[in-house]
Chains A and B, each alone.
Chain A
């Protein structure tokens, strides 16, 4: 069975500062990894995904994530955040049959 742990429930960060949202996963099989963003009162939007190949994955809105198999991590980063990045961010893992989500990290952008 797979599981996903997002270590921080909330992350406050000043506007234009860098941010890292942490995600660790566990699985007994090869998995696909995802980051989704949910803006207030909106649905889920795919930020980026790792299926295979290069471990550094670039997504939309300037986000990127690095797959680290030895540390079973898939942390999300952005070098400079904007107020519009205020949202809930979900890390997820899939073994093809289903996608399992972490509990989410709320990103607060401070002016």
Chain B
């Protein structure tokens, strides 16, 4: 059973399109995150949700909108995609006490 699952694994799309990435965790964790890994492998936090409530929003363009329908899901919707949005996006969840579990990533390519 996959603990943190993301779909799709790969996403190729044209500039200007709107796309979504889904994330689900079956660990019962209260907190979920989105991270972006750029072409230089640098991992940067984008958002954090705790029990469906936005906790962290790290100066991400408002074209990016996270949505958490319940505490097991945190989806990422991106409007008007730009070339610079190409990256690998990782979802993660955290249990109380600092144990983080990451999804396998979604490689987004904007052409």
- Shortest C-beta distance, A102 to chain B (Å), equals 9
- Say yes or no: A34-B100 contact (C-beta < 8 A), given A43-B90, A90-B43: yes
Q: Give residues 61-95 of A contacting B (CB, 8 Å).
A: 88, 90, 94
A42 touches B41 (CB 8 A): no
Q: Is the interface of B mostly helix, strand, loop or mixed?
A: strand
- Say yes or no: A44-B90 contact (C-beta < 8 A), given A98-B33, A99-B100: yes
Task: List the B side residues contacting A49 at CB < 8 Å.
Answer: 98-99
Task: Say yes or no for A51: interface residue by CB 8 A criterion.
Answer: yes
Contact with A along B3-44 (1 / 0, CB 8 A): 000000000000000000000000000000100000011111
CB closest chain-B residue, reference A101: B43
Task: List the A side residues contacting B45 at CB < 8 Å.
Answer: 98-100
- Shortest C-beta distance, B60 to chain A (Å), equals 14
Task: List the A side residues contacting B75 at CB < 8 Å.
Answer: none
- What is the bound-complex CA distance between A94 and B35, given in angstroms? 14
B100 touches A94 (CB 8 A): yes
Task: List the B side residues contacting A43 at CB < 8 Å.
Answer: 90, 102-105
Contact with A along B87-106 (1 / 0, CB 8 A): 00010101001111011110
B104 touches A42 (CB 8 A): yes
Task: Say yes or no for A14: interface residue by CB 8 A criterion.
Answer: no
- Shortest C-beta distance, B32 to chain A (Å), equals 11
B-binding residues in A (CB < 8 A):
32, 34, 36, 38, 42-44, 46, 49, 51, 88, 90, 94, 96-101, 103-104
